[in-house]
Amino acid sequence: MSAESRSGEQRAPGQHRDLVAPIEPAFRPVAGPIAILPSAPDAFVAAVTSAGGVVAPLSAETRGIVWLSDKRAEELEAALDAHPGVEWVQLPWAGVDAFAPLLARLAGRERLLWTSAKGAYSEPVAEHALALTLTLLRGLHTKAASTSWAAKTGTSLYGRRVVIVGAGGIAIELLRLLAPFEVDSTVVRRSALPLAGATRTVDSTGLHEALATAEVVILAAASTGETAHLIGAAELALMPSTAVLVNIARGALVDQEALDNALRSGAIAGAGLDVTTPEPLPDGHPLWTAPHCIITSHSADTPEMTAPLLAGRIGANVAALLSGGAFVGIVDPGAGY
């Protein structure tokens, strides 16, 4: 049975949407055959061909590459070096930090458009962030582990002060999900340009002030050189002892040693981590046993959720390549996202 979404279209239960609007690229890639690498599953071949594209092995005629691995950047680099006629590359995930050195090296290449899946997975990831937040505040993780009747404890999300770091698709969807809880929301982003749905928006210089009164801090920013260890010992010390931290962005945003210390000392009340550094987090790592630390093993967007969203993103961008339309998820190589 299908259900009507807020935009009026019919969709099956559990079916997510890509909410990102297309934008005009700085230059127009030349249309031509598209290679799907390093392998070509049927679903993604169909995404290209249903949009009118032609899938063919990598050759001098190739004009676009759909890269389906979140690793093996050196192979993609070799393909691009050997085939200068490629003018469009689609990357598979929202974050492109795994390709940062390659993006930086080719940032000066005039005719190369990069797109990623940024924003495509906003709905499932925002849902997971909300689930982690409610679990931490309500103490569901400790109650679920109890083997006897637990004490009646827990904190409501209603009216709480929530800080969201990042202003992309996840933050936008998260603000929508948080609206019924009537939270006081502060979005921290690179500029103070207001974000619809937020109580206030501040630039990155306002992070410390926002943390000082936060009851929930949710990290939804891209992983770049500027955001590495964005939350460290100093930032954790600023947060109230009753605050919880949720990270559904990238593990590199958090100094994990400092977080472990903060959890064990009671400096903050808890943490929900869907992402860590490294991944997988090794068995025996201190965070596995840190008090009130929930680790969900990067499952905010499962393959069952992401595959149709990525296929839709690929199809939209193939159509743009062929028709001269706007692309979705354009990456700024200089900024790294």
Q: Tell me the β-bridge partners of 67.
A: 37
Active-site residue, 173 included: no
Q: Which of 310, 304, 334 is nearest to 14 (CA)?
A: 304
Burial environment of residue 163 by CB neighbours within 10 A (0 to 12, 13 to 18, 19 or more): buried
The domain total for the chain is: 2
Active-site residue, 250 included: yes
Coil, strand or helix at 294: strand
Q: Which of 16, 128, 250, 313 is catalytic?
A: 250
Q: Which of 141, 161, 264, 298 is catalytic?
A: 298
Active-site residue, 279 included: yes
| 46 & 167 share domain | no
Structure tokens at 136: 């931490």
Residue 315: which domain range?
3-120+304-323
d(CA 112, CA 260): 42
| 105 & 134 share domain | no
| 137 & 255 share domain | yes
Give Cβ neighbours of residue 108 (< 8 Å, ≥ 6 apart).
Answer: none
> In b/e form, how buried is each residue of 44-80, taking b as 16+ CB within 10 angstroms?
bbebbeebebebeebeeebbbbbbbeeeebeebeebb
- pLDDT tens over the chain, length 337 residues: 344 555 556 677 878 999 889 999 999 999 999 999 999 999 999 999 999 999 999 999 999 999 999 889 999 999 999 999 999 999 999 989 999 999 999 988 889 999 999 999 999 999 999 999 999 999 999 999 999 999 999 999 999 999 999 999 999 999 999 999 999 999 999 999 999 999 999 999 999 999 999 999 999 999 999 999 999 999 999 999 999 999 999 999 999 999 999 999 999 999 999 999 999 999 999 999 999 999 999 999 999 999 999 999 999 999 999 999 999 999 999 888 8
Helix axes 42-50, 303-323, angle to 10 degrees: 30
| 133 & 182 share domain | yes
- Is the residue at 332 inside a domain? no
| 9 & 130 share domain | no
Query: pTM for the whole thing?
Result: 0.93
d(CA 62, CA 83): 8
d(CA 141, CA 145): 6
| 85 & 69 share domain | yes
d(CA 325, CA 25): 9
Report angle CA 144, 299, 104 to the nearest 5 degrees. 145
Q: Which of 24, 61, 75, 279 is catalytic?
A: 279
Coil, strand or helix at 123: helix
**Residue 73: which CATH number?**
3.40.50
